A and B are shown apart, each in its own frame.
Chain A
């Protein structure tokens, strides 16, 4: 039988894109944003939603592997929603991005040798808390880096591992507040270039 959750093999021409969205902070908006993906059977790789630096405005960072054509259409559909203030798509080289991972391990693994401590140092990770039973290690980095640390720690017994969605800032000098102000005064959609970035 076909595994219906397996990615289709013809992933040719697909790439990882980061979509950055500003919306009014209202209930239900996460749903309105994500159904755009559901309807097209697109799987979101990572999603992060939180308050932006502007009061009442949320920022979504969504990472998606798809074709350029598809991601551009998706972004246009997201922009179409009444409460969406802006949606932009970036290729990897147009953003600075980061993720964070937390690793909960038994405290005793630090007791017997210095190995684990050395691993933590070597990976530029840090100890967040030490409790009698467990210790939480924190590491920021891209997925490959946080995964690498996980793989190294696995043999010592990781009790819990969690990784955040990506957060990203664009390489442009634009200020979010200025963008919103422009939006406030404008009567057009022409703030966007054809490629989804801001003019």
Chain B
């Protein structure tokens, strides 16, 4: 669903007339007014009044007590990414709030709508180095779409209304509302009006006819057009429009890491994913295309490699809602500054039918090389040890691509994103822009809570898993049926790979002595299993998949496996290596 429509549904009319209530209760009622039914959080001194108010609304608002505030932020992200709704988290002042920051930064760079509510010391103590006082506004300023400090109870409804409006409209992002304790305790006459407009904020630029015409002309004249589908396509719900454009003009489509699942992977026009560990053909042929149509993406350096050697033969048509992204990295021939879906709907009627099958065939030829040199051995290895690729292949087969896969950061992430054959949009969730280790487990937990009817599988490495494994406690307490896979290579694998390739195999602090993960899962009351042999793998995965409730599976994988293809950092996309 497009973001525009979500705006209309706001007011639920829970609170029809003015009521005299505390600021804390106003926080809860405002959330209910915004249609929130799920919060991830952790209490502490400065947010206790809000937790006290929450106690009276336990039926309406499901609060999940996480085990670390970073987990709350990532859970809110996972929830938002799969539901399209705003994720919400609570934390106390000082350390509670600072613990949220990694998740906030991640949400900012990956355009994820979350609203974080933090408690703050009483207003008259601000700036006195009071107990658990940190400058949370200052700290979060560069990593939030908007932040605000509430010091008076009366400000609460308007601040929260604004927070939700800003978080979910335009290019979504994180918002933080810092509420001093006195504002939580004081009373106000509560009345709720959803925010519909801010004069200084224009989230949906109006499409200019000229841009549409210019873009159509460039696309219609293309001999070798190439379409890049980014996260913006998923956010604006433009999957069908991208498909229609691709089919009408017979344009090959590649997706960015965050754009995965915006285009059906088994479609004949789909040519894979872009970037450092993406597919061979789309990277190499970026430098052959004559028109590059980039939709809802921002030309991250992991996509472009060396920009001076990127898409040099191409005229670039950039469809992007955030004007600051246009011409930021890659100069455009035509820019359409608009919501992706709206832009494509305007553009489609002007696009001519075309046949680019010969051009698409060039991708297929390179696909064959990648298959022979890399994929075959990743998916059907003959090595002694299990390889990550075959685990992901089996997960794909067993789930029939119906499961939501949430990955951590590292080699397993690249492998999972390369080989998981998702069937539906928003069915692969990862930390892209920030590359936050520790993302998978809490984000999967949040995704599962957002989509209770679906299967959610977290895939992490032994390193990243240990960054947020305490969330097993949350999963246990609320019996959240996430399937947790740890691909254990006893290494910080991705860093080890770089050390092998670019630092003369000097494995500086990347080897890990790991605990007995089974005992840990067991300690948290989660059914757990370990596989070391290939012949046991499929059955173990199937058992995990069929299990009713949370399940932990450790797979011992080859220790020194490398992920290929690979564009060496700062190199041209054409120099992508296959070995």
> Do A35 and B142 touch (CB < 8 A)?
yes
B349 interface contact, C-beta 8 A: no
Contacts of A184 in B (CB 8 A): 199
> Do A80 and B208 touch (CB < 8 A)?
no
Contacts of A2 in B (CB 8 A): none
B residues 327-341 near A (Cβ < 8 Å) are 327-328, 337
> Do A23 and B200 touch (CB < 8 A)?
yes
Instruction: Report the stretch among A24-32, A92-100, A108-116, A163-171 that lies at the interface.
Output: A24-32
Counting chain B residues whose Cβ lies within 8 A of the other chain, the interface size class is 20 to 34
B residues 413-472 near A (Cβ < 8 Å) are none
A172 interface contact, C-beta 8 A: no
Residue of B nearest to A77 (CB): B324
Contacts of B146 in A (CB 8 A): 81-83
- Chain A 59-83 against B: per-residue CB contact (8 Å), 1 yes, 0 no? 0000000000000110011011111
Counting chain A residues whose Cβ lies within 8 A of the other chain, the interface size class is 20 to 34
- Chain B 277-296 against A: per-residue CB contact (8 Å), 1 yes, 0 no? 00000000000000000000
> Do B199 and A188 touch (CB < 8 A)?
no
> Do B198 and A189 touch (CB < 8 A)?
no
> Do A183 and B199 touch (CB < 8 A)?
yes
B residues 104-145 near A (Cβ < 8 Å) are 137-138, 141-142, 145
Distance of A87 from chain B, by nearest CB (Å): 11
Distance of B211 from chain A, by nearest CB (Å): 10
> Do A24 and B200 touch (CB < 8 A)?
yes
Partner of B200, one of A28, A32, A77, A183: A183
User: How many Å lie between the Cα of A77 and that of B142 in the bound state?
Assistant: 11
B contact set with A: CB distance below 8 Å: 137-138, 141-142, 145-146, 149, 166, 198-202, 204-206, 208, 322-324, 327-328, 337
Contacts of A8 in B (CB 8 A): none
A residues 79-138 near B (Cβ < 8 Å) are 79-85
Distance of A96 from chain B, by nearest CB (Å): 26
> Do A73 and B200 touch (CB < 8 A)?
no
Distance of A66 from chain B, by nearest CB (Å): 15
A190 interface contact, C-beta 8 A: yes
A contact set with B: CB distance below 8 Å: 23-24, 28, 31-32, 35, 39, 72-73, 76-77, 79-85, 180, 183-184, 186-190
User: How many Å lie between the Cα of A82 and that of B195 in the bound state?
Assistant: 14
Q: A77-B324, A79-B323 are in contact. Are A188 and B200 (CB under 8 A)?
A: no
Distance of A132 from chain B, by nearest CB (Å): 39
> Do A190 and B200 touch (CB < 8 A)?
no
> Do B205 and A189 touch (CB < 8 A)?
yes
User: How many Å lie between the Cα of A79 and that of B322 in the bound state?
Assistant: 11
Partner of A82, one of B137, B149, B166, B204: B166
Distance of B341 from chain A, by nearest CB (Å): 17
Distance of B208 from chain A, by nearest CB (Å): 7
Distance of B363 from chain A, by nearest CB (Å): 33
Distance of A49 from chain B, by nearest CB (Å): 16
Partner of B137, one of A28, A81, A187, A190: A28
User: How many Å lie between the Cα of A24 and that of B162 in the bound state?
Assistant: 15
> Do A189 and B337 touch (CB < 8 A)?
yes
> Do B202 and A187 touch (CB < 8 A)?
yes
User: How many Å lie between the Cα of A73 and that of B326 in the bound state?
Assistant: 9
Jot down 19 A-B pairs with beta carbons below 8 A, ordered by A: A28-B137, A28-B149, A31-B138, A32-B141, A72-B327, A73-B324, A76-B328, A77-B324, A79-B324, A82-B145, A82-B166, A82-B201, A85-B199, A183-B199, A184-B199, A187-B204, A188-B204, A189-B323, A190-B206
Instruction: List 19 other contacts, CB 8 Å, given A39-B142, A79-B323, A80-B323.
Output: A23-B200, A28-B141, A35-B141, A35-B142, A76-B323, A76-B324, A81-B146, A82-B198, A82-B200, A84-B200, A85-B199, A85-B200, A183-B200, A186-B202, A187-B204, A188-B202, A188-B204, A189-B205, A189-B323
Residue of B nearest to A184 (CB): B199
Contacts of A183 in B (CB 8 A): 199-200
Contacts of B322 in A (CB 8 A): 80
Distance of B335 from chain A, by nearest CB (Å): 9
> Do A73 and B205 touch (CB < 8 A)?
no
> Do B141 and A188 touch (CB < 8 A)?
no
Contacts of A31 in B (CB 8 A): 138, 141
Residue of A nearest to B147 (CB): A28
User: How many Å lie between the Cα of A23 and that of B200 in the bound state?
Assistant: 8
Partner of B206, one of A24, A32, A72, A187: A187
Contacts of B202 in A (CB 8 A): 186-189
Distance of B472 from chain A, by nearest CB (Å): 36
Contacts of B323 in A (CB 8 A): 76, 79-80, 189
Contacts of B138 in A (CB 8 A): 28, 31
Distance of A95 from chain B, by nearest CB (Å): 23
> Do A73 and B328 touch (CB < 8 A)?
yes
Distance of B482 from chain A, by nearest CB (Å): 35
